[in-house]
Amino acid sequence: MKVCIAEKPSVAKEIARILQANIRMDGYFEGNGYQITWTFGHLCTLKNPDDYLPSWKQWQMHSLPMIPPRFGIKLIDNDGVKKQFNTIKTLVAACDEVINCGDAGIEGELIQRWVLTMAEYKKPMKRLWISSMTDEAIKEGFVKLKDGKDFDRLYSAGNARAIGDWLLGMNASRLYTLKYADGKGVLSIGRVQTPTLALIVRRFEEIQNFISKQYWEIKTNYRNIIFNSTKGRFDTVEDAFLIIEEIKNNLFEVVSFEQKKGNEAPPKLFDLTSLQVECNKKFGFTADETLKYIQGLYEKKMVTYPRVDTTFLPNDVYPKIAPILKEMEAYANFTAPLLEKPIKKSKKVFDDTKITDHHAIIPTGIKPSGLMLTEKRVYDQIARRFIAAFYPDCIVSNTTVIGMVTKYEFKATGKVILEDGWRVLYPKKETDRDGENESDQEQLMPHFEKGEKGEHTPDLLEKQTQPPKLLTEATLLRAMETAGKQMEDEELRELMKENGIGRPSTRANIIETLFKRKYVTREKKNLVPTQTGIQLINTIQNELLKSAELTGMWEKKLRQIEKGEYDPKTFLDEMKEMVAQLVAEVKLEHKNKIVIEQVEKVAEKKVEKAKPADKKKPAAKKIAEKPVDITTATCPKCKKGTMLKGKTAYGCSEYKSGCNFKVMFEQHGKLLTEQEMFTLISKGKSPKITGLTVDGNAIDAALMFDGEFNVTVEG
């Protein structure tokens, strides 16, 4: 008897139908020499700290670091899990061979191997490895079953990742909670979660601390075409105005006119991240929603395996392209021209060296039916991207014109689409491959002759520098994919994928975890950190825990473990050493803090003893030194928001609604205390502050707000 273990009941049911194992039993199907059973995701998990030592149940600083000599797994404490596990254990104990039919990825391998380890299974194992759920793919997969040992490295990587996450998460969360939380809840820290939150917080603080600056640009209109001064921005209106005065009465002369044909290749096929990015931009779907929709389409056999990080197809898929296109009847007006001749085979689409576990997400050719609108939208994006990949390039004409007025140079550019090519698949407003609307025809450029001259109309534009935009799920996913590095170029993004934060299959869950823990909220499409999230990141002093680059390096090592290029033991030894060092550093800080507090208390007692007896003064001192929470102060300008703490200033939480109130920590050469800042914001006037620098002189004075709510010195 052969036992097949699928990852969920619905998949087991499909496999049983194809293998003709039609007898339904309690927890499995049977027939034709097979027994098909299932897990439902994780049945097993790593042991809790107190499973190793009872004393580790209590959160105590002296118990850290918690590093078990050997990590173990256990069943999840759930009656349904226990029942299904016992079914699996009974079946595999009596079988001749197990066929691992789990999800064909790192997490699917880990789920199945942990179950088989708990069941003490030691007989031969085969692996079903498929990229779609069509009958044809499942049948072909069973004909070409792989040896289970071929996936030992994949399991090793999954196991190492899980243990690494346990080591860092369990130790760092307890460490920082004990030191900083002050009984106000748990500070949850994770290998991927924390650097992801740091990306969101840093972007938010960049915006909060951004100081807009005024600048001016010179443009001129010649033959109804707008030309920009190549001098760029001007910091003062006077400098720009002098040039306007100089050029307005002189003729514009064309010194260069160049037209070049250009090719725009079709966008790459979808991997999971790029699909999530596109659906967030076009439809506002969250990463988690897109993953659910694409998973549903996969289980309905309409698309290939979705949890992938490649945008390429292997060469052996090429013969299947034309048959898939023929079956896509809803897109016949687009596929018909392709099917009139052999499908082109481009290295930009087919590349065996770029294939890992699976290939890019493409349709299977199964006709979509019974879909929700959301699923239809996701399928349509995949279908159009797939068809576009085999279309000709879009041909454009790029025009550049250089003109001179006296000694000042001006430039204008324009693009005209000559042949749509792949762009016929998209409405005009959707042709930007990154999902943003763009104008296909920038400036429709007339013909210019070198040396021609004529009247022109210069103009001076006043502008303001703009802060960076808040992250959306689309831009956050891109940042996670490239370890925080901003990359628009598809080829560079492809190269960075091995160093990304997390995996395509886990990123949506990481983002959702930040929402569940109330570290981040959504404002329309934007991701905004909560005060709790900001405080957590600012509390963590160890930059390694917040480093997207370091997390990306860990991810790369896990991929190297999959390839047999890195030892999983070395990876875990490095994680253990890092955790031990982190604990030692924070413990030392904690110890020093206690010593400093004790010294301060002794010093305070000595000062009190030395003072003359005065009952009023100690009371006044106690009030002055009472800790304050500036974030509770109401914004004096809009009267609605509260204060948010940035790196250099406090600002109003209603900044999105237009309130620009901000108070810098440093005023006139003096760093304000929390009490001084709180009094200034809440009462509109600070106490007298010593050592303020005004016009080069040191003075003692109070600070207050003027009519525009800017900080000024009283008097």
Q: Which domains does the chain have, with CATH numbers?
A: 2-160 (3.40.50.140), 188-209+470-566 (1.10.460.10), 214-257+394-414+433-464 (2.70.20.10), 272-388 (1.10.290.10), 630-713 (no CATH)
Please, which pLDDT band fits residue 487 given cuts at 50, 70 and 90?
low
Question: Which range among 194-208, 260-274, 416-430, 618-632 shows the weakest confidence by mean pLDDT?
Answer: 618-632
408 a catalytic residue: no
Whether 85 and 2 have beta carbons less than 8 Å apart is answered as no
What CA–CA distance (Å, rounded) separates 658 from 650? 16
Tell me the CA distances in angstroms from 72 to 40, 48, 210, one per residue in order. Answer: 21, 9, 49
CA nearest to 680, candidates 669, 693, 666: 666
Tell me the CA distances in angstroms from 235 to 215, 226, 402, 443, 468, one per residue in order. Answer: 5, 22, 24, 28, 20
Cis peptide bond prior to 65, omega within 30° of 0 = yes
Average pLDDT estimate for 184-199: 91
Average pLDDT estimate for 240-256: 96
What CA–CA distance (Å, rounded) separates 96 from 1? 6
What CA–CA distance (Å, rounded) separates 153 from 539? 37
User: H or E segment at 36?
Assistant: strand 34-38
CA nearest to 288, candidates 611, 83, 513: 513
Phi/psi of residue 5, nearest 5 degrees: -115, 110
What CA–CA distance (Å, rounded) separates 225 from 250? 17
Q: What is the pLDDT of residue 299?
A: 93
Counting every residue written for the chain, the total comes to 715
User: H or E segment at 175?
Assistant: helix 152-176
Instruction: Find the angle CA(10)-CA(16)-CA(19) to the nearest 5 degrees.
Output: 145
What CA–CA distance (Å, rounded) separates 528 from 197? 10
Beta strands in 353-451 (DSSP E): 394-405, 408-419
**Parallel, antiparallel, or unpaired: how do β-strands 34-38 and 2-6 relate?**
parallel
Instruction: Find the angle CA(161)-CA(164)-CA(170) to the nearest 5 degrees.
Output: 130
Phi/psi of residue 518, nearest 5 degrees: 60, 35
What CA–CA distance (Å, rounded) separates 107 from 486? 28
Strand partners, 405: 408
H-helix segments, 497-567: 504-516, 531-539, 543-546, 548-562
The residue written with tokens 């689309």 in the block is 474
The residue written with tokens 């996701």 in the block is 378
Average pLDDT estimate for 457-464: 95
Question: Which range among 101-110, 189-198, 374-383, 621-630 shows the weakest confidence by mean pLDDT?
Answer: 621-630
Q: Which of 305, 379, 519, 655 is catalytic?
A: 305
Whether 36 and 102 have beta carbons less than 8 Å apart is answered as no
Q: What six digits make up the tokens of 196?
A: 């992801």
Average pLDDT estimate for 118-126: 95
Q: Does the structure show a pLDDT above 70 at 438?
A: no
Most confident range, picked from 300-314, 538-552, 600-614: 300-314
Question: Which range among 235-239, 506-510, 614-618 shows the weakest confidence by mean pLDDT?
Answer: 614-618
Per-residue pLDDT tens digits for 590-630 = 565 555 556 556 656 655 665 555 444 444 343 344 567 78
Q: Does the structure show a pLDDT above 90 at 709?
A: no
Whether 320 and 356 have beta carbons less than 8 Å apart is answered as no
What percent of the chain stands above pLDDT 70?
90
Between 561 and 430, the more confident residue is 561
Q: What six digits make up the tokens of 299?
A: 């289980």
**212, exposed or middle or buried, with CB in 10 Å at 0-12, 13-18, 19+?**
exposed
What CA–CA distance (Å, rounded) separates 715 from 701? 8
Strand partners, 307: none
Per-residue pLDDT tens digits for 569-588 = 999 999 999 999 999 888 87
Whether 551 and 483 have beta carbons less than 8 Å apart is answered as yes
Phi/psi of residue 243, nearest 5 degrees: -70, -40
CA nearest to 539, candidates 168, 194, 206, 66: 194
Average pLDDT estimate for 443-468: 93
Between 136 and 585, the more confident residue is 136
Mean per-residue pLDDT over the chain, rounded? 89
The 8-class DSSP code of residue 270 comes to B
Amino acid at 391: Y
> Would you tell me how many other CB atoms lie within 10 Å of the CB of residue 545?
21
